[in-house]
Amino acid sequence: MLTIFGDPISGNCLKVKWTAERLAIPYTWRDVDVTKAQSRTPEFLALNPAGQVPTVVLVDGRTLAQSNAIILHLAEGSDLIPADAYERAKMFEWLFWEQYSHEPYIAVARFQVKYLGKPVGELEPRIVERGRAALALMDRALEGRDFLVGGSLTLADIALVAYTRMAADGGFALSDYSAVEAWTRRVEAELPIREPR
């Protein structure tokens, strides 16, 4: 069976959980508490030298890391990956954009505020500005659309909703981005999300 090593406070880890559940892929979840440096133990580093969660051990015993690489692997051949080459490319564009231009601001702000206790007003201005820019870009892209790519749920939505739905934890008001807010509720309704916002 698939084993997911993850921390339930991490949106990156939840992406993998939701994708597996959506696709009815059985899995075992193994908690790795990143706030206690459990992803930096010799045992964990033997599994993933980058010391990052999520990391999965596939049915054949081989390991795979990087949330978006894992969900791409799990979803191969499913309708979460568009069949059309251009739509697939746009999905990849969102997946890479998420890791470079969204997660480092939206997820980092949340982590610093919710788990390190930093007041929102003391966040680095660069993090706040770029987080807002990321949400504004999504808001424009989602204007008049139900999903980020094509007409149905893809991995782009799963990857982006993970931290977007928790953006308020880092001081970002989703109500300022009405298309993003509506899309968030739409994507949540499609996924087996039991985690609180």
Q: Where does this chain bind a second copy (CB under 8 A)?
A: 49-50, 52, 58, 60, 62, 64-70, 72-73, 76, 85-86, 88-90, 92-93, 95-97, 99-101, 103-104, 137, 140-141
Q: How far is the CB of 26 from a second copy (least distance, A)?
A: 18
Q: How far is the CB of 49 from a second copy (least distance, A)?
A: 6
| H/E segment holding residue 80 | none
| H/E segment holding residue 174 | none
Shorter beta-carbon distance to a second copy: residue 31 or 93: 93
Shorter beta-carbon distance to a second copy: residue 18 or 97: 97
Q: How far is the CB of 167 from a second copy (least distance, A)?
A: 18
Q: How far is the CB of 58 from a second copy (least distance, A)?
A: 8
**C-alpha triplet 166, 169, 173: angle, nearest 5°:** 80
**Contacts with 126 (C-beta within 8 Å, 6 or more apart), sequence order:** none
Q: Which amino acid does the sequence have at 40?
A: R
Phi then psi for residue 107, to 5 deg, are: -75, -40
Shorter beta-carbon distance to a second copy: residue 64 or 193: 64
Q: Where are the beta strands (DSSP E) in 79-143?
A: none
* Kind of pairing between the strands at 63-65 and 55-57: antiparallel
Q: How far is the CB of 94 from a second copy (least distance, A)?
A: 8
Q: How far is the CB of 64 from a second copy (least distance, A)?
A: 5
